[in-house]
Structure 1
Amino acid sequence: MRSVIAYFIKFPVAVNIFLFALFAFGLWGVLGTRSSFFPLNEPNMITIRIAYPGASPQEIEEGIVLRIEDNLRGLVGIDRVTSVSSENTATITVETLQDYDIDVVLADVKNAVDRVPSYPVGMEPPVVAKLEPMARSVQFTLSGDKVPLKTLKQIARRIENDLRGIEGISQVDLTGFPAEEIEIAVREPDLRAYNLSFAEVAQAVANSNILSTGGTIRTESEDYLIRARNRRYYGDELDFIVVRADASGRIIYLKDVAEVRDTWSEVPDRLYMNGHPAIEFSVSTTNSEDLLHAADETLKYIDDFNAKNDNVHLDVTRDASLVLRQRTQLLLENG
């Protein structure tokens, strides 16, 4: 210690350089520090989501979940495997050991899922993903006086795209509305008049509303990919599906025997704000994002949106940055 002090006394410029470097690195560390409401944790959970429309919990458990769990046994790095089966869906949660790389375990889990010889017909492909830790930053609602829910959803999608385009914001979730569906209500008198069956109508819709690949045509100069792109997403686009056509030239369209309309699913997923239909936004941050920055940018966007729109309004329901700033200020005052 005496030699260090003697060196600094002999060379005072070195002291100034050392203090300047210490201050510069300290300032760089403070500016680069990310804020979070809770301590940051590395992800250690993997989820396998299964969708099997029309299946009971027992069918999903016996026909899918148990097969996947059998393939997961013996994988290195797995601590525990749990599963929950319900109607139409199931979720398998894989917890990894702390000392193992979760990306390596994720690849092993995907291989285990792919090794299942066969899945039931009608099941959607399993979705295997790493569960990233999320921290809620800001929650707010979109509502308007006498604004239909469908219009609110269209505006909400634009707001979602705007928020995702802001640097530092990647996680935006929307709730408050059920899934959209196309309802085809077949009229029985018209079926009898045209001598049609319900199965014929269903088969015509299934054969016409498709999106699939039909193969490849190879030539000497280039290859041609054959693809059928005839999928429709709105009810009025299905009106002119041909149900039957005969040799005389008579064509029976879907609109001749059924009422086609866009509707919402029967799931009672609704949200109201001050008595009006509303959609809730939840802006979250990952370990690589700053909570305060995401909150500031979101609040700034909300103020700009409310200033430009009169018929719809954004209302903040929860702001985690407010509590975080208050706790930080308390530490500074008491420190």
Structure 2
Amino acid sequence: MEKIIRWFVSNKVVSNLLMVLILVTGATTIPSLKMEVFPEIELNIISVTTVYPGATPFDVEQAICIKIEERLQGLDGVKKITSTASESVGSVTVEVIQGEDINDMLDKIKAEVDAIDSFPESIEKPVCRKFAGSNPVISVAVHGKLEDNILNELTENIKDEIDALPEITFTSIVADLETEIAIDIDESALRKYNLTFQQISNSIREWSLNIPSGSIETKEGEILIRSNSQGYSIYDFSEIPVITEQDGSIVFLGDISKIRDTFSDQFELDFLFNGENSNLITVFRVGNQNALDVSKAVKDYVEVKSAQLPPDAKITAWDDEARILSGRIETIVRNAQQGLILVIFVLALFLKPKLAFWVSLGIPISFMGGFWLFAPLNLSINMLSLFTFILVLGIVVDDAIVVGENIALFRERGMDPNEAAVKGAMQVATPVFFAVLTTMTTFAPMLSVDG
């Protein structure tokens, strides 16, 4: 230890260059670091979901879940297999042994499931995917005195516009309702025209579709012919002919039924924001995206979009998780500034201004050195990492003061500056080292936590 300290004291140029290198590289690394509210946690879980239309939970279990479980049983890297069978859907969850490559395991499980040839013919292709921790950053509330269908359409349009922002990759609608056309047919109308549900279904299937009808070659080029008859609105379906008589009379679908534009699913709870009918769009951070940039982009969009909406419609940025991260960054900056000022003032008052300057440099050097190591260690600026910076801020300052004060004591005794630096540092090296070691030992159990 003494040789290392003496070498750095004797080679001041190298020491100063190393100090500058740490400060510059740390400062230039910060903008490229990933900023998130909480660190990503990769779950070692893979799910296999299969749709079996019209099947009971018992049929799903026998035809889907049990076959997948038997196929994956004994596969290398699999820790536990559980399954859930519900009406028309079977889900098998595979827990992977810690340390296994989750992407390799996903490929293996997918290959095994695809190799099963005894599934019923009517099932949809099984979907294998790994569970990924979501990183919501901010929500956007679309609200106002609006009908459900208008609110749903407005929410989808706003979602598309947010998705188009260069800073945004993934968003989702909380109450994502799919629209559908519901056709209610009166039984008396069926008896009156001697119709069946099958005849009406066939008429809708034959008339509501788009059909390519070939092409025509001309001197100017080829003209493609296509029949666009797919129905999308109440009017489109009401104009579908159900009965066509030889005298030219036509009975349309709208004449014998009530056609409604509604939703395929209905939520049991009402979504209200400030007492108004609403829906929420959740904006996520993906990959190395910066949570602060994502939040700012959404807030800027909301500010611009609010001025473009009609009076009955409103849009509000809400539940901004990045605000917490921004507050923690402001806390660490404020603490560092206050600590720096206090250290310089106190040491300059009771010791020497020169000593105060060099001791206070320990704060930015330690911080920049820590940020410099973030990139190679694949770490991010988040709530937990910033908490540790705030925690060690006092430790860094305390140790620097102890070493600096001891060096000043040897200088007051008339010792040479270089020798005072070596003797002063060596005398307190052991207690300082073990003081840091005890702090590291206290938080060492956190290293065993997954993620």
TM-score normalised per structure 1 = 0.80
Counterpart in the other structure of 2:327 = 326
Q: Per the alignment, do residues 304 and 108 of structure 1 end up closer, same or farther by CA in structure 2, a change over 3 Å counting?
A: same
| In 1, Cα distance between equivalents of 2:303 and 2:188 | 55
SS in 1 for 2:316: strand
Q: Per the alignment, do residues 175 and 98 of structure 1 end up closer, same or farther by CA in structure 2, a change over 3 Å counting?
A: same
| In 2, Cα distance between equivalents of 1:228 and 1:123 | 32
Counterpart in the other structure of 1:300 = 300
Asked if the contact 1:77/1:97 (under 8 Å) is kept, the reply is yes
TM superposition shift of 1:154? 1.7
Q: Per the alignment, do residues 104 and 233 of structure 1 end up closer, same or farther by CA in structure 2, a change over 3 Å counting?
A: farther
Asked if the contact 2:298/2:317 (under 8 Å) is kept, the reply is no
Is 2:182 the partner of 1:172?
no
Aligned partner letter, 1:157: E
TM superposition shift of 1:279? 0.6
| In 2, Cα distance between equivalents of 1:242 and 1:114 | 44
Aligned partner letter, 2:278: A
| In 1, Cα distance between equivalents of 2:328 and 2:5 | 42
Asked if the contact 2:240/2:253 (under 8 Å) is kept, the reply is yes
Counterpart in the other structure of 1:224 = none
Q: Considering fraction of residues, name the structure with more helix.
A: 2
5+ long unaligned stretches in structure 2: 213-225, 336-389, 394-451
Is 2:33 the partner of 1:48?
no
Length, aligned pairs only: 321
Counterpart in the other structure of 2:117 = 117
Counterpart in the other structure of 2:186 = 187
Asked if the contact 1:64/1:119 (under 8 Å) is kept, the reply is yes
| In 1, Cα distance between equivalents of 2:227 and 2:73 | 41
Q: How does 1:1-335 map to 2 (within 5 A)?
A: 1=4, 5=8, 8=11, 12=13, 18-120=18-120, 123-144=123-144, 146-176=145-175, 178-206=177-205, 208-209=207-208, 231-243=230-242, 252-265=251-264, 267-269=266-268, 270-309=270-309, 310-332=311-333, 333=335, 334=390, 335=393
Identity fraction in percent: 24
Aligned partner letter, 1:143: H
TM superposition shift of 1:301? 1.7
SS in 1 for 2:307: helix
Asked if the contact 1:139/1:282 (under 8 Å) is kept, the reply is yes
Counterpart in the other structure of 2:396 = none
TM superposition shift of 1:7? 8.2
Asked if the contact 2:83/2:90 (under 8 Å) is kept, the reply is yes
More displaced, 149-158 or 46-55?
46-55
Asked if the contact 2:47/2:130 (under 8 Å) is kept, the reply is yes
TM superposition shift of 1:20? 4.3
| In 1, Cα distance between equivalents of 2:209 and 2:50 | 23
Q: Considering fraction of residues, name the structure with more strand.
A: 1
Q: Per the alignment, do residues 232 and 81 of structure 1 end up closer, same or farther by CA in structure 2, a change over 3 Å counting?
A: farther
Asked if the contact 1:136/1:284 (under 8 Å) is kept, the reply is yes
TM superposition shift of 1:142? 0.6
Q: Per the alignment, do residues 203 and 116 of structure 1 end up closer, same or farther by CA in structure 2, a change over 3 Å counting?
A: farther
| In 1, Cα distance between equivalents of 2:211 and 2:119 | 20
CA deviations on 1:112-149 (whole Å, 9 max, x unpaired) are: 232232544654433322322212211231101x3212
Asked if the contact 1:236/1:261 (under 8 Å) is kept, the reply is no
| In 2, Cα distance between equivalents of 1:206 and 1:116 | 34
Aligned partner letter, 1:93: T
CA deviations on 1:252-305 (whole Å, 9 max, x unpaired) are: 543343333211235335312233210111112234322222122222222222
CA deviations on 1:94-120 (whole Å, 9 max, x unpaired) are: 222332222222222222232232544
| In 2, Cα distance between equivalents of 1:56 and 1:212 | 36
Q: Per the alignment, do residues 190 and 174 of structure 1 end up closer, same or farther by CA in structure 2, a change over 3 Å counting?
A: same
SS in 1 for 2:254: helix
Counterpart in the other structure of 2:427 = none
Asked if the contact 2:8/2:15 (under 8 Å) is kept, the reply is no
Aligned partner letter, 2:24: A
CA deviations on 1:213-237 (whole Å, 9 max, x unpaired) are: 9xxxxxxxxxxxxx99865444433
Asked if the contact 1:173/1:281 (under 8 Å) is kept, the reply is yes
Aligned partner letter, 2:159: E
5+ long unaligned stretches in structure 1: 214-226
Aligned partner letter, 1:312: A
CA-based RMSD of the aligned residues comes to 3.4
Asked if the contact 1:51/1:88 (under 8 Å) is kept, the reply is yes
TM superposition shift of 1:174? 0.6
